[in-house]
């Protein structure tokens, strides 16, 4: 979704997030489960205020063992959007960083909301999903799921009368 900078008025415009097409696929599959919206309002002739909130469930796979995992994903943000160039006009502004609002410097006439949401998603999503902090993953040698099996690397079962059982279990 793109909005035209000049068309925003001082009346708050709110859009509900129904689609998750903006969500980066490599982070997992997002399902919206709670309040998810974006609002925009004119602040000054040169600045807009952009706020938003997203709550959903993120579905992905554990980075260590590969089983499917679900995690809550919830974030809120507030940005200042300006079409002025990124430069400090006077010295005073450097000396008083009064707030830590993120400022988006708009280069064209349109603000791409999806792009803002996407960046937010990268910031807020887990770097890698885990089924648990103590997940032991998969043994690179024998492929054993170390959470439920023990590593077979150091044991040679091939001559054991139970080798056939191992093959059946692995099916
Ligand atoms: Zn795991
Ligand atoms: Zn192993």
Of the bound ligands, which one is closest to the alpha carbon of residue 136? 1
Cα of 144 from ligand 2 centre, angstroms: 6
In this prediction the pTM is: 0.74
Taking the C-alpha atoms of residue 167 and residue 159, their distance in angstroms, rounded to an integer, is: 13
Is 154 buried (19+), middle (13-18) or exposed (0-12) by CB count in 10 A? Answer: exposed
Cβ neighbours of residue 36 under 8 Å, at least 6 residues apart? 16, 17, 53, 54, 55, 56
18: its two tokens: 């129904």
Cα of 71 from ligand 1 centre, angstroms: 13
Cα of 149 from ligand 2 centre, angstroms: 10
Query: Can you give the residue ranges of every domain in the chain?
Result: 2-134, 136-171
Cα of 92 from ligand 1 centre, angstroms: 52
Structure confidence by residue, pLDDT tens digits, 13-59:
999 999 999 999 999 999 999 999 999 999 999 999 999 999 999 99
Cα of 13 from ligand 1 centre, angstroms: 42
32: its two tokens: 């919206």
Structure confidence by residue, pLDDT tens digits, 92-129:
444 444 455 688 999 899 999 999 999 999 999 988 89
pLDDT class for 154, splitting at 50, 70, 90? confident
Q: Are 69 and 130 in contact (CB under 8 A)?
A: yes
């Amino acid at each position: 979704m793109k909005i035209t900078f000049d068309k925003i008025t001082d009346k708050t415009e709110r859009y509900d997030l129904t689609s998750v097409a903006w969500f980066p696929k490599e982070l997992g599959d997002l399902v919206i489960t709670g309040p998810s919206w974006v609002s925009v309002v004119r602040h000054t002739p040169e600045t807009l205020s952009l706020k938003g909130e997203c709550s959903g469930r993120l579905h992905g796979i554990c980075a260590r063992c590969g089983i499917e995992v679900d995690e809550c994903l919830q974030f809120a943000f507030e940005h200042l959007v300006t079409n002025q160039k990124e430069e400090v006009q006077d010295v005073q502004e450097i000396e008083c960083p009064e707030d830590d609002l993120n400022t988006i410097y708009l280069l064209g006439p349109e603000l791409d909301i999806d792009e803002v949401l996407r960046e937010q998603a990268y910031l807020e999503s887990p770097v890698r999903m885990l089924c648990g902090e103590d997940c032991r993953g998969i043994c690179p040698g024998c492929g054993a799921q170390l959470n439920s099996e023990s590593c077979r690397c150091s044991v040679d079962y091939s001559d054991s009368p139970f080798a056939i059982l191992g093959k059946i279990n692995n099916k």
